[in-house]
Amino acid sequence: MIREFEEKFGPTLEKKVIAKNKVLYTLMVRREDFINMTKYILNRPNTRLFTMVGMDERNTEESFSVTYWFLDWKAQEVIGIRLYVPEEEPSFPSVGAIHKGAIWFEREVQDLLGLEAEGLPDPRRLILPDDWPEGVYPLREDFQYYHSPMGTRNYPYREPKNNSTVHPMGPYHVALDEPAHFRLFVKGEEIVDVDYRGFYSHRGIEKLARGRLNYNQVIFIAERVCGICGFAHSIAYAQAVEEAAKIEIPDRARYIRTILLEIERLHSHLLWIGVAAHLTGFDTGFMRSWLIREKVMELAERLTGNRKTYGLALVGGVRRDLLDYRKSLILETINKLRGEVNELVDMLLATKSFIKRCEGIGVLSKEKAREWDTAGPLARASGIDYDTRRDLPYAAYDELSFNVPVYKEGDVLARALVRIDEVKESISLLEQAVDAIPGGPVMAEFNEIPSWREGISAVEAPRGENTHYVMTGEINRIYRWRVKAPTYNNLQAVSDMLRGYTIGDAPLIVASIDPCYSCTERVQVVDIESGKAKVISFGGMGTCP
Amino acid sequence: MPITKYYPFEPEQAPLEYRGVPEINPHLCVGCGACVNVCPPDALIKIDDYENGTRKIVLDIGRCIRCARCEEVCPTRAIRLTREFEAASNDRICHVEIVELKLAKCRECGKYVDYTERQLQKVLSLIPPGILEFDRIREKLPLCRECKRLLTVVNATKFEEEMRE
């Protein structure tokens, strides 16, 4: 992709190589070309909008910037296109107008930095609370992280059209204990349209990382972005910093990271299978699944000191070595697990009520899945053959063999089957990794982190890819840290999945993407009811189901 | 096969590897504040009182995220993560552990300096005796920042005069 792109647009661009196969272009002149470039990239097969980063670079470049990162997963190449947005005229052409997957990114930039995307289809507020005053942009450099202004409460909800009625689902989600507000527009039982207002658990951690933490402290808040795929977030962050600072991590650390990422995938998928069984009224499946999951959690506790694999990663490696007795612990557990998982799957797939509730429900076609840039099991259930572990290898995945399950049906059952297959692949990956783990140190040695370097990395979390972008700042700080969780894309596709189905199916369809609101919304709690705003920097974060 | 346990009537113990509630051993703590520097959620803070000459290291396990960075950096292994995981309490103050240490006094002006007496002892015990003697370090410690600056100037002037002679 990079070669063709350069042949077509090369002369007007300034090029900067971030890493092997990762290039950043800065648009110098002719902003009109920008939309053509994005169109050109997105019209190619196997490309997706990876992430989008808005930055306040007024201190160094005297303007704001937005960077669109694209991935070609067959060529394993990442392209970034940076557009500088002057302070006097803070607007840029919208990609959301031609590519749906960019809408939330641009709404977010509009909220947090005050940069307007011209031609954006839905320019309502996305991230900031309903009572946040107009014209205050928290990610700008002149905004202090502890500041918390008050405004009046106002949000332009969409009103139902064509004789439909509103059926609210939320602000507390029925299936998962997290805040999310779906407004289902219904005609009788049938859902005709959906409006989503979420981001109730936006906590502003990106600002916190800029304002208060040094680069080695950020990793502990990175893993607390999510209560389930925390380790994937911490590894994605660590890899981005390692890429920026050109740190090579030891082989042993790469394998330990792989092992823990797979343990995380195991417990996350088993959790989801349980939740899906519960939502279809099959509570035996739920109990059995969580019983198996408990063993994985206990294994994680023995390996890392925490049931949730927290606190193991640091920039440059891992903190605890995988001692021999821990290796045998893993093997013991997965030997037991294999039989139990097979038993569970047989039981689940032989349950007619489960199959009937899942089959043909919440269908997402391949075209739609592509439009929204969906990721992970949701994309793979809709026939998109994309997995970051294989297509943008990190940790030790390029040295291990595994299959990427892909289904074409695109319904809830296909999503369940993808996850079931992935559980089996994870068990095999764990076995391979424990077998092949090399010796040596677990932590790389490095000096100070250089300033103004950039890194972008993705980790395949259980729900899809976690993309982290990092620009290093001065005195061991991070200048900009951008987290994109898979649910950020997947949640947008839910509106397409709900349309045409009944209210009774809605919880199952929403749950079928395995949404993680706290990942998507990233950390600042504002209590809208009492009108009181408080920034909670650490405790009290929302977690996954 | 019963799965549910009669917890809390039947006590549950976390495995050996578990990272639980941290605990400071006040006999070992020198009050250097290394843990305060690394603590990501500010669960550890350092409060210096130059009037009364005390330094407080305050640990709040309600804020703690059990990452064990403090344990990693502690030079005297004073702070350790225990296997304790039950932190519920009726009183918030049960979550707070305070270690109070004496600040050293400047030998010139008598003001309190920004390190503790134990820190001083620790540093003196770490420096090899040869260097301790050669640089006459014992005479220079403890000095407050101002007196230290003054001493440097005085020594430099002395040195210059000696050179001139």
Q: Does residue A350 surpass a pLDDT of 90?
A: yes
B120 touching A (Cβ < 8 Å): no
pLDDT for res A7: 83
pLDDT for res A123: 87
Return the minimum-mean-pLDDT range out of A150-154, A169-173, A345-349.
A169-173
Chain A interface disruption, residue of B3, B65, B83, most A CBs within 10 A? B65
Residues of chain B neighbouring A319 (CB-CB closer than 8 A): 68, 72
In chain A, pLDDT over 90 holds for what percent of residues? 46
Q: Does residue A177 surpass a pLDDT of 60?
A: yes
B72 touching A (Cβ < 8 Å): yes
A224 touching B (Cβ < 8 Å): yes
Q: Residue A532's beta-bridge partner residues? A: A527
**Average model confidence (pLDDT) for chain A?**
87
pLDDT digits (tens, 9 = 90+) for A270-308: 999 998 998 888 999 999 999 999 999 999 999 988 888
**Chain B nearest-CA residue for A313:** B67
B85 touching A (Cβ < 8 Å): no
CB contacts under 8 A, A 269-298 vs B, are 291, 298
Q: Which of A79, A58, A84 is nearest to A69 (CA)?
A: A79
pLDDT digits (tens, 9 = 90+) for A380-436: 999 999 999 999 999 999 999 999 999 999 999 999 999 999 999 999 999 999 999
pLDDT for res A53: 92
DSSP string over B94-155 = GGEEEEEEEEEE-TTT--EEEEEHHHHHHHHHHS-HHHHHHTTHHHH-S--HHHHHHHHHHH
In chain A, pLDDT over 70 holds for what percent of residues? 94
pLDDT digits (tens, 9 = 90+) for A466-507: 999 999 988 888 999 999 988 888 888 888 888 889 888 888
How distant, in Å, are the alpha carbons of A63, A91, A120, A188 from that of A88? 9, 9, 20, 50
CB contact under 8 A, B41 and A220: yes
pLDDT for res A531: 38
DSSP string over A92-154 = EE-STTT-GGGHHHHHHHHHHH-PEEET-S--S--SS-TTPPTT--TTSTTS-TT--------
Q: What is the mean pLDDT of residues A228-244?
A: 92
CA A514/CA A461 separation, integer angstroms: 11
CB contact under 8 A, B65 and A291: no
CA A377/CA A407 separation, integer angstroms: 9
Q: Does residue A535 surpass a pLDDT of 50?
A: no
CA A447/CA A3 separation, integer angstroms: 34
Confidence of residue A201 (pLDDT cuts 50, 70, 90): confident
CB atoms within 10 A of CB A143: 17
B17 touching A (Cβ < 8 Å): yes
Is the separation of the CB atoms in A179 and A169 below 8 Å? no
Q: Which of A514, A477, A466, A530 is nearest to A230 (CA)?
A: A466
From A301, A303, A539, residue closest to B63, measured CB to CB: A539
CB contact under 8 A, B38 and A291: no
CB contact under 8 A, A221 and B68: no
CA A7/CA B156 separation, integer angstroms: 66
CA A428/CA A423 separation, integer angstroms: 9
CB contact under 8 A, A302 and B17: yes
Q: Does residue A536 surpass a pLDDT of 60?
A: no
pLDDT for res A330: 92
Could you give the 3-state DSSP secondary structure of residue B34? Answer: helix
pLDDT for res A529: 37
pLDDT for res A4: 86
CA B91/CA B97 separation, integer angstroms: 13
Q: Does residue A538 surpass a pLDDT of 50?
A: no
pLDDT for res A526: 33
Q: What is the largest CA-CA distance in chain A?
A: 68
**Structural element, H or E, at residue A404:** none
pLDDT for res A174: 66
CB contact under 8 A, A311 and B67: yes
Domains observed in chain B: 22-164 (3.30.70.20)
pLDDT for res A175: 66
Residue type, B59: L
Is the separation of the CB atoms in A387 and A398 below 8 Å? no
CA A415/CA A421 separation, integer angstroms: 10
pLDDT for res A522: 59
Confidence of residue A527 (pLDDT cuts 50, 70, 90): very low
Structure tokens at A123: 């320019």
Q: Does residue A518 surpass a pLDDT of 80?
A: no
**Chain B nearest-CA residue for A220:** B40
ipTM: 0.87
Q: What is the mean pLDDT of residues A111-119?
A: 90
CB contact under 8 A, B68 and A301: no
From B38, B41, B66, residue closest to A306, measured CB to CB: B66
CB contact under 8 A, A310 and B65: yes
CA A366/CA A493 separation, integer angstroms: 11
Range B49-67 burial, b when 16+ CB lie within 10 A, else e: eeeebbbebbbbbebbbbb
Is the separation of the CB atoms in A458 and A376 below 8 Å? no
CA A309/CA A307 separation, integer angstroms: 6
**Chain B nearest-CA residue for A302:** B17
Q: Does residue B160 surpass a pLDDT of 90?
A: no
Is residue A527 packed enough to be buried (19+ CB in 10 Å), middle (13-18) or exposed (0-12)? exposed
Q: Does residue A240 surpass a pLDDT of 70?
A: yes
**Chain B nearest-CA residue for A292:** B3
Chain B interface disruption, residue of A146, A216, A219, A220, most B CBs within 10 A? A220
pLDDT for res A181: 86
Which positions ≥6 away from A307 have C-beta within 8 Å? Answer: A297, A298, A300, A301
How close B90 gets to chain A, by Cα (Å)? 18
pTM for the full predicted model? 0.90
Q: Residue A457's beta-bridge partner residues? A: A468
CB contact under 8 A, B18 and A220: no
Cα A213–Cα A214–Cα A216 angle in degrees, nearest 5:
115
Could you give the 3-state DSSP secondary structure of residue A46? Answer: coil
Helix, strand, coil percent values for chain A (each to nearest 5): 40, 20, 40
A539 touching B (Cβ < 8 Å): yes
DSSP string over A303-349 = HHSSTT-TT-EETTEESS---HHHHHHHHHHHHHHHHHHHHHHHHHH
Identify whether A462 is preceded by a cis peptide bond (ω within 30 of 0): no
Which positions ≥6 away from B145 have C-beta within 8 Å? Answer: B113, B114
Is residue A443 packed enough to be buried (19+ CB in 10 Å), middle (13-18) or exposed (0-12)? middle
CB atoms within 10 A of CB A296: 24
Residues of chain B neighbouring A302 (CB-CB closer than 8 A): 15, 17
DSSP string over A463-507 = TEEEEEEEEE-STT-EEEEEEE-THHHHHHHHHHHHTTSBGGGHH
Q: What is the mean pLDDT of residues B152-165?
A: 87
pLDDT for res B1: 63
